[in-house]
A and B are shown apart, each in its own frame.
Chain A
Amino acid sequence: MTRQARTDKSFPAAGGQPAAAPEELAILGIGLPAWNRLLLVAGLVALVVLPFLVEGFTTFQMTQVAIYAIAILGLNLLTGYNGQFSLGHSAFFAVGAYTAAIAMNHFGLPYLLTLPLAAVISFLVGFAFGFPALRLEGLYLALATFMLAIAAPQLLKFSLFEPLTGGAQGLVLMRPEAPAFTGLDDDQWLYFISVIVMLALFWLSGNLIRYRIGRAIMAIRDNPLVASALGINTPLYKTVMFGISAAYTGVAGALSAMVVGFVAPDSFNFLLSVALLVGVVVGGIASMRGAIFGGFFILYIPTVAESFADVFSKGLSWAAYGVLLLAVIYVMPSGISGLIDAVIRRIAQPKQAPRRTDPAADVATAGPGPSNREKK
Chain B
Amino acid sequence: MAFLQVDGLDAWYGKTQVLFGCDITLDEGGVIAVLGANGAGKTTLLRALSGMVRRQGRIVIDGTPADQLSPEAVVRLGVAHVPEGRGTFGRLTVEENLRLAAIIRKDAAGVRRDFTRVYDYFPRLHERRSQQAGTLSGGEQQMLAIGRALMLAPKLMLLDEPSFGLAPQVRRDIFLILKDISRSSGVSMLVVEQNAALALDLASHAYLLETGRIVLSGTADSFLADDTVRRTYLGY
Contacts and interface: CB of A to CB of B under 8 A. Distances in A.
Do A and B assemble together? Answer: yes
A14 interface: no
A375 B90 contact: yes
A368 B15 CA distance: 8
Interface in B1-23: 13-16
Interface string A338-376: 000000000000000000000000000111100000011
Contact of B13 (A367, A375, A376): A367
Assign chain B's interface to a size class: under 10
A366 B90 contact: no
Contacts of A367: 13-16
Contacts, number: 12
Contacts of B15: 365-367
A162 to B, nearest CB: 47
B90 A368 contact: no
A376 B14 CA distance: 21
A367 B15 CA distance: 6
Nearest to B91: A375
Contacts of B13: 367
A261 B106 CA distance: 72
A365 B90 contact: no
A328 B16 CA distance: 28
Contacts of B14: 365-368
B124 to A, nearest CB: 22
B16 to A, nearest CB: 6
Contacts of A365: 14-16
Interface string A150-187: 00000000000000000000000000000000000000
Interface in B32-78: none
Nearest to B14: A367
Contacts of A375: 90
Nearest to A367: B14
Contacts of A376: 90
Nearest to A365: B15
A366 B12 CA distance: 12
Residue picked from A365, A366, A368, A375, most chain B C-beta under 10 Å: A375
Nearest to B88: A375
Contacts of B90: 375-376
A137 to B, nearest CB: 14
Nearest to B134: A376
Nearest to B13: A367
Interface in B84-110: 90
A187 to B, nearest CB: 50
A365 B16 CA distance: 8
A352 B142 CA distance: 54
Nearest to B85: A375
Residue picked from B13, B15, B16, B90, most chain A C-beta under 10 Å: B15
B89 to A, nearest CB: 9
B91 to A, nearest CB: 9
A144 B157 CA distance: 45
A365 to B, nearest CB: 4
A376 B90 CA distance: 9
Interface in A139-154: none
A368 B16 CA distance: 10
B168 to A, nearest CB: 24
Nearest to B53: A368
A375 B141 CA distance: 15
A201 B90 CA distance: 43
A202 B14 CA distance: 35
A375 B90 CA distance: 9
B97 to A, nearest CB: 13
Contacts of A366: 14-15
Interface in A59-100: none
A376 B89 CA distance: 10
Contacts of A368: 14
A122 B48 CA distance: 53
Nearest to B89: A375
A114 B196 CA distance: 68
Contacts of B16: 365, 367
Nearest to A375: B90
A367 to B, nearest CB: 4
Nearest to A363: B15
A213 B16 CA distance: 34
B11 to A, nearest CB: 14
B26 to A, nearest CB: 29
A224 to B, nearest CB: 16
A366 B13 CA distance: 10
Interface of A: 365-368, 375-376
12 contacts: A365-B14, A365-B15, A365-B16, A366-B14, A366-B15, A367-B13, A367-B14, A367-B15, A367-B16, A368-B14, A375-B90, A376-B90
Given A365-B15, A366-B15, A375-B90, 5 more contacts: A365-B14, A365-B16, A366-B14, A367-B13, A368-B14
Interface of B: 13-16, 90
Smallest CB-CB A-B distances: 6 pairs: A367-B14, A365-B15, A368-B14, A365-B16, A366-B15, A366-B14
